[in-house]
Chains A and B, each alone.
Chain A
């Protein structure tokens, strides 16, 4: 009986204390009707200013504490500082030509051109089981064999008992189907190679890579990935001898061209010794069966910034024929080899004039104007 009384006493004291806590909680933390608590963390948690005056919380929508920094024109200094930072970053970017930007390990999009971003798909008839179709690229040359993989994932805690016994893959476009390929593997991963003959059996264009899973419960399930098949309209076949021309390293490139056009040739230059990324190169070239060569260039400002005198390796090719008129489809090209060796020169072989981007000055002025607030 005494224990029971003590418990009741403790419960009572706790309840009173809790009520007091609720009562003394800053009234300003109560939101006006319709306010979004999720958007205002200070509204669901009493907030003090920077001096740590606990309990002196401003309400949602109330003015900020007096220590906030404002400019006289009413613009927050932080916004100005940020715009100034952006202007500085932009000016730094503009030091390098569009045709040879410095390449860094965090430039994912440049290091993975035309990437297929895999989509993990839940299966309607196998709860807890997901499948992902993985290919090297979204844009695929129909003349090359293409590795394909199907990865399976079982969501933890779902108690999913269904497994996959067999996976087959085919290409499908507008009612046309390629031959069926059975993937090797078991458990969580199945893989194989889609032969070029299969890729050529459907027309170029957007195509579904369909993977059919035979489940241990006797059912079947399909997942797919969309790819874009192309017939190369230009093919990089050879790089010529590199040379220094003023501030540029010049790389002659030769192509086989089956459809004339205005091509954008992009590739990544790496340091051959350490395989460190150096520069993302782009060149706009007018190519035709009669005019089959063009020049890729790397400005010394980029090579010096990366301290990369070479020799180099050029790879990750992304060759597109730009649409001549709005509404035209983009065409694509390929490279005869996965990578090409590129000779380098000592960095003092290049002249020292800085690169001037004629298009950047006005844009930089605009950003600076935003930073200045005028």
Chain B
């Protein structure tokens, strides 16, 4: 099956060429000295390490080109460690290359496959011993054993059940409800439309009743970006337009693609950009996706003002915020 005719005969291993240190005692002595010096450099490294650990204060900074201001303590600790290790290695390798024997040795390889008689014997043994267990003759044992072994895995899997609660309807809901005030994040202050200038953007959370703490889980679902543009710049359906207030529009800040915070707002183009995968949303068209892998607009929160003039949610989000999931009911 292959072109077996070798055009050339194997000339065998090339003749061994002696190194200088093999034949010249002066060269050998020199190599020995070099190895010794390399080991001594490692000793120097250890000394540098110990000195840096006890002798250099942790708040000393030195300026180095390219690296800028560098903490001297950490730098010299590291350099000392690096030296102490690196030169042991160099010494050992130099030793091996100059002074240890460099004769190539030939070892014979055997095929991995066992000898035929070993294989036959093995099969015979297995058959004989297996036959002694009599599994073939006792189908009842065979079947019940299969059943038992098949089922025994259920227990450890079931044990993992309490790793977490079931999602229930959790992913579809947030803390936003009709009439919930928008409060600044950070700051927790309710805001009036006049607090936000045209072109401004602010991150808000739903107001929590006193005593209720805001956890990261809440922020992961509730974060909303409030953006104010000139009302005539909106290009919205009448329904969506009624969700805005005097040019203020509110979107979930959690990306509809993979849940990163959609944090970059470009004032001139009125685009929101997610820094993770560059999904870009057009604020004037209800956060329609204009670029990137996101498949859905950011959910819009309907807002208005309450009797005291503070911004509140008209209603909860009408869809799940954040990345998609199987049970997500879509438009």
Whether both chains belong to one complex is answered with: no
